[in-house]
Amino acid sequence: MKRFYLTTAIDYVNGKAHIGHAYEKILTDVIARHYKKCSDKLFFLTGTDEHGIKIQKTAAERGITPKELCDENANSFKETWKELGINYNKFIRTTDDYHEKAVQLIFKKLLEKGDIYKNSYTGLYCQGCECFLSEKDLTEDGLCPDHLKKPEKVSEENYFFKLTKYKDAIIKHIKENPDFIVPSFRAGEVLNQLEDIQDISVSRSISNVTWGIPVLEDPEQVIYVWIDALSNYITGLGYNPEGSSEDFNEYWPANLHVIGKDILKFHSIYWLAILMALDLPLPKQILAHGWITIDETKMSKSLGNVIAPTDILNNFELENADALRYYMATAAPLGKDGNYSDVDFKEKVNAHLANSMGNLLNRTLSMLVKYFDGEIKPEFKPDENILNIAKNTIDRVKYHFDRYETQEAGQAIMTLVDATNKFVTDNAPWTLAKEEKMIECGSVLRTVLDVMCIVAYLIEPFCPNISKGMAEQLSYDLNKKYDELSLDNIKDGKLIEKEQIKPVFLRIDSEFADKTKK
């Protein structure tokens, strides 16, 4: 693959990052790290959505300007992603000058084309969704189904985008490209939504909303959130109707948009129509992930169960985010909801990362030092059966990643670890050493260490720090593509000294992992 471009949704900066935001960013980062292993170039875009009435009201309540609120919370998101090891190429803010200018020109182009027109409108507006809802969108009690609040009745003169003009083309695209929406069962939902689609408001009067990008030809109007926010996927690459950048020409169309299932409508309908109106290629795939519940309960400020990812790191005194990354990226099957609980988190990462994977490497290296002074001898021959399992695991992991099935990819890696642990138990190198069958003992250890190189490589998208620690002890180079992988990874000669052996992940309840007891 020559190049791969993927994006996350941009987060609304009305508050700080919570675990739901973190789930999407971790999921996308894990996918991005996989594609770095099989593409020549990769571009990963994330950022923040910074305009709208909620920002305006929150800032007023706090007695600060909207821009001050945006600066504060955008920086908070950046710091959180840094702690979680989110390795993006660019962080876009919709208050960035280049974005605002490009959005104004996009609006102008669509206005001149006749795809945007002005009209008076009365509708039901949900501040939480930042969109107008129809009566049939509401619950029996007349509430927004997502925010459980009654939308306000708004009457004003706005600009509208001719969404209905592109209805048939969008339906055709979705039906002719069954892999366009991932998971595929979501496509039916979108097609149902398209049946009653109407033209959409793409501006608000400054009498109601002042915090937005002004319409160039009409300073009494500000550009409404969807043209502003959705356009980040192209402006972040340098798109501009008056002349685009090399990055845009190289990376667009996007290979993958990663978004939550609640905003699939806007990405699979509104965004496609905007791109069609701009005569731009459509993204190749949209991945709509599920939500993360807390102890099987939906997150809610009123319930007080909104968790910040940094709180988890601090609570468990984790030196890096690898454990949380692994847990979140394997929390749910593709497109389904996942759950976080402290108990499950602790049990899962201890079992997988410390007991199964970390202990396997640690005890194997310790036996190599104990029995052979850390040296791999030429007469040690790896077991072909277990190496074939490793080879098949590489193919399985690639298969799942190429379908964005991160949970299944993680399970495949752990299945290989379990098979290797069984191989050690069945062959009992400690017994072989006791019986002075040293070549057989050394061959078992070499086999395990060859496999652990593959494990280190495959686990890297989930756990970059743990992977690096494993690779250092194995003298293994992680910087290679999938097609460069070998099953013969451990070379003859001195591999490691006793003092170089250290756990790659300490159990969360370990005395050594508890900094208060050090």
State which H helix or E strand residue 22 sits in: helix 19-36
Which candidate in 147, 175, 422, 494 is catalytic? 147
Structure token pair of residue 480: 């290679």
Which candidate in 113, 172, 175, 298 is catalytic? 298
Amino acid at the residue 112: E
Contact 335, 182 (CB under 8 A): yes
Report d(CA 226, CA 228) in Å as an integer.
5
Report d(CA 500, CA 472) in Å as an integer.
9
Which candidate in 18, 25, 265, 400 is catalytic? 18
* 463 belongs to the catalytic site: no
Question: DSSP secondary structure string, 338-368?
Answer: EEE-HHHHHHHHIIIIIIIIIHHHHHHHHHH
Which candidate in 136, 153, 301, 518 is catalytic? 301
Which candidate in 37, 51, 131, 144 is catalytic? 144
Q: Rg of the chain's alpha carbons, rounded to an integer? A: 26
Contact 161, 116 (CB under 8 A): yes
State which H helix or E strand residue 231 sits in: none
- Which is nearest to 330 in space by CA: 260, 406, 234, 255? 406
Which candidate in 51, 78, 99, 129 is catalytic? 129
* 21 belongs to the catalytic site: yes
Is 154 buried (19+), middle (13-18) or exposed (0-12) by CB count in 10 A?
middle
Contact 55, 94 (CB under 8 A): no
* 173 belongs to the catalytic site: no
Which candidate in 70, 126, 453, 463 is catalytic? 126
* 265 belongs to the catalytic site: no
* 267 belongs to the catalytic site: no
Active site positions, annotated: 18, 21, 126, 129, 144, 147, 298, 301
